[in-house]
Every structure is written in C-alpha cells, then in structure tokens.
C-alpha cells in the first residue's frame, strides 16, 4: 500500500530519548514537524527539546497509546527497546522499522543466521545456551570474544577469552539474574580496519546510502570515524554496499539502517573468509553516521525523517572530507573525580570544527556526552585539525 506523504506540522514520534533521538528531533523540527519522545527519564536529551515528552516506561500501555494517537509515524532510536512495544504502536500508527527487523537486530544469534541466509560472510561462531554447551565449542573459536546475544552495546556484555577455562569463567560471569543469558562466542578476527555503511530504504524499496565510513574503536566504544572519497579500494566499497543493501532488502527494511563490517588482515583467516565480514546491524541512525550532519548535503537523521514521512530520498553527497571524534564523559573527568568543563573555546577556535553536545548533565566514564566533526578540504587537513582538538581535550591520539 502506498501512503501519501506526511505534511510538515504533523507530529512524528520516537521511542527512546537519547542523543540519537535528539539529533533526529532537530532534523524533524527543521523540516517543520513537531516531535514526541517516549522515555522514562525526565531529563532525557531528546525529551528536553521535543514538543511532547511522555515520561513513561517503554512497555507502558498508556504511554504507548498516547504516542500512537498523537503521532502520524513513529520510529525507535535503539534496538534494545522491546520489539513488542513497536508491535503495539503498529496497531494504531505507521511504524518504521518494522518490529520484525528490530527483533532480528536485537539478537546476535538471529542476526548472524540472517546474514548467513543472505550469503554475507560472518565471523565463525557458536551459540552457547547453557554450561553443558561449553564442551562442544570447537577449538578454532579460541581466542574469541564471548558476547551476550541480547542487550549489548558499546562493548558491554562482551569478554575476550583465550582459553577454555577463561571461556567457562566468562560465561558464568555473564549469567546475571535468574533467567539464563544466552551467549555467542565469536572467533577473534585479525582486523585490518573497521567500516560501516549507513543506508536509508524507503517504503517503495528505494535505497540510498552515505559514503562508507572508516571507524576506530577504543575499549569496544567507537572513538573516531573518518570519511573521504575512495577511502577503500573500489571493489571493497562495492562489496560492502552490496552486502548492506542485500541485508536491508531481505528484512523488507524501511528507515535508516547501519551495517558494521570488519576488514580482515591478509593471511590465512582472510583466505578462508574473504576480506570483508559483516559484524552487526543497528536498525537506526548510528554513531558512525553523525558526521553526515556537517559533511553531507543530507544527514542520516533527515533521511530517517524522510523515510517516516514518505518523502523522497536523495542520494547524500559528501561535500567535505571529515573526521568525527566521540566525546565521552572521560573528557570531563580527565583531572580526577570532579568534573571539569573542557576548554570549548579553544576547540571552537579551530577551523572546521562542529561541536555537538547532547545536554547530559552528568559526565561518566564511557558515557557519550557529545561528538565533534572536523570538516576540511582534504582528509589530511581534517586529521591535522582533529589532532589539535584531541590535544586540547586530552583525548588519546
């Protein structure tokens, strides 16, 4: 069924009120929409700047029905929101992405099985449901990374294990609470680099994408994204784009989707798996796509709004090579336990710096407080300015 496009002035909604919902809300408001956020936190970054903030739990029937009745369309900013919340909303309003796509992205075991079904290579892995299953884990998966199949993000719910004893101990340590925590053990791959593709797929199946992003992580959390034309060899870029589009199409996906990839170092593992392996998907705008606000002529957040409102999807054009640095709470806590305001004036004195702070009151180690994107005429210049900004902020180089 085709829907007419939703005119500005209507209310669009989002489940979750963090920084992704905040930047999405900015994009929606720029296009003249009103925004509604459902998030239990009265101080949530997106709730603070939206027209309507419903501060109820994600599964609260009354909160969900208020959101559905007020909004012409609703999306989610994170995949850990129960798929049943989206399913409930779907009874009364337009929802994208579909609950089924979120259900797949929510569970690493389902997700991996889905990628295999699409013919896209994944890390060798085994799903471990209970202690007995530990004995049948094949040797070649060690050293590996044990991950909970659900509720992981920013490297949380992950343990690196070298031996069977470490695996047994890590599996036991991840068993918190009364219900068994299903885990997946992935072979630790020799990574040459990591990259991601952010795409947007419309209700009619039209698919556009941001330029490919190169990502560097620190302690399992994205630290730096760099984007410039021809960052990777053409055939690798095409392979990643093709895989991402195939995954989106197979999920009948509507909205913005991020697909994360590992680039494998040359050697025996690469000979078996090939140079490109899919890691995971995020059914939403992604941290590695934040640069698009400042470096592209249409951002990942505007694309999400356009998908929801059935508006046309133009192909994003990168107008400036860029470097994005994540700003974690550690920047505020560099000199001890008492938070200190970083020297923003010094950072903003640098050319091409676009600072984004998410309005979170309390800096904590590992907490995403903001990011900055440096745009420049060349990637070399962007890197040089980003290095200066990193020095001012005490970020590791």
Number of residues that bind ligand ATP (CB under 6 A): 19
State CA 117 to chain mean position distance: 22
What CA–CA distance (Å, rounded) separates 12 from 29? 9
Among 59, 69, 143, 153, binds ligand ATP (CB under 6 A): 153
| Binding positions for ligand ATP, 120-139, rule CB under 6 A | 123
| 189 lies in the site for ligand ATP, by CB under 6 A | yes
| Binding positions for Mg ion, 251-310, rule CB under 5 A | 260
What CA–CA distance (Å, rounded) separates 316 from 378? 18
| Segment near ligand ATP (CB under 6 A); pick from 39-47, 134-142, 153-161, 162-170 | 153-161
Alpha carbons within 13 angstroms on the beta-carbon side of residue 57 total: 4
State CA 294 to chain mean position distance: 18
What CA–CA distance (Å, rounded) separates 60 from 72? 20
Contact of residue 220 among ligand ATP, Mg ion, none (CB under 5-8 Å per partner type): ligand ATP
| 220 lies in the site for ligand ATP, by CB under 6 A | yes
Cis peptide before 143 (omega within 30 of 0): yes
Nearer to Mg ion, 232 or 282 (CB): 282
Shortest separation between residue 5's beta carbon and ligand ATP, angstroms: 32
* Strand pairing category for 158-161 and 144-148: antiparallel
Residue 200 in contact with residue 304, Cβ under 8 Å?
yes
Residue 76 in contact with residue 102, Cβ under 8 Å?
yes
| 100 lies in the site for ligand ATP, by CB under 6 A | no
| Segment near ligand ATP (CB under 6 A); pick from 152-160, 205-213, 303-311, 341-349 | 152-160
Shortest separation between residue 260's beta carbon and Mg ion, angstroms: 5
| 107 lies in the site for ligand ATP, by CB under 6 A | no
Residue 200 in contact with residue 258, Cβ under 8 Å?
no
Residues that bind ligand ATP (CB under 6 A): 123, 145, 147, 152-156, 186, 188-189, 191, 194, 217, 220, 222, 260, 279-280
């Amino acid at each position: 069924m085709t829907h007419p496009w939703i005119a500005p002035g209507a209310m669009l909604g989002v489940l979750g009120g963090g920084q992704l919902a905040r930047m999405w809300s900015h994009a929606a408001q720029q296009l003249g929409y009103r925004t509604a956020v459902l998030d239990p936190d009265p101080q949530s970054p997106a709730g603070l700047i939206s027209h309507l903030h419903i501060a109820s739990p994600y599964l609260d029937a009354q909160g969900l029905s208020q959101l559905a009745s007020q909004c012409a369309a609703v999306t989610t900013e994170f995949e850990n929101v129960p798929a049943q919340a989206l399913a409930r909303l779907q009874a009364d309003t337009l929802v994208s992405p579909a609950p089924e796509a979120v259900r797949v992205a929510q569970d690493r075991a389902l997700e991996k099985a889905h990628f295999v079904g699409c013919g896209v290579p994944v890390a060798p892995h085994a799903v471990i449901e209970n202690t007995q299953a530990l004995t049948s884990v094949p040797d070649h998966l060690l050293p590996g990374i044990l991950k909970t199949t659900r509720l992981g993000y920013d490297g949380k719910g992950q343990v690196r294990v070298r031996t069977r004893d470490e695996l047994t101990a890590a599996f036991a340590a991840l068993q918190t609470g009364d219900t068994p925590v299903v885990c997946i053990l992935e072979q630790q791959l020799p990574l040459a680099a990591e990259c991601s593709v952010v795409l947007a797929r419309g209700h009619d199946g039209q698919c556009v994408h941001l330029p490919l992003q190169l990502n560097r992580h620190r302690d399992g959390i994205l630290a730096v994204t760099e984007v410039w034309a021809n960052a990777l060899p053409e055939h690798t870029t095409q392979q990643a784009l093709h895989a991402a589009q195939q995954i989106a199409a197979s999920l009948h996906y509507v909205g913005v989707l991020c697909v994360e990839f590992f680039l494998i170092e040359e050697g025996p593992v690469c000979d078996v798996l090939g140079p490109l392996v899919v890691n995971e998907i995020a059914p939403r705008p992604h941290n590695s796509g934040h640069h698009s606000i400042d470096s592209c002529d249409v951002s990942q957040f505007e694309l999400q709004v356009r998908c929801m409102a059935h508006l046309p999807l133009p192909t994003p054009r990168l107008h400036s090579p860029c470097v994005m640095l994540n700003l974690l709470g550690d920047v505020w806590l560099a000199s001890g336990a008492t938070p200190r305001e970083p020297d923003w004036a010094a950072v903003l004195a640098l050319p091409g710096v676009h600072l984004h702070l998410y309005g979170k009151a309390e800096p904590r180690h590992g907490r995403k407080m903001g990011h900055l994107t440096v745009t420049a005429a060349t990637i070399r210049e962007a890197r040089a300015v980003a290095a200066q900004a990193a020095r001012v902020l005490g970020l590791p180089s």
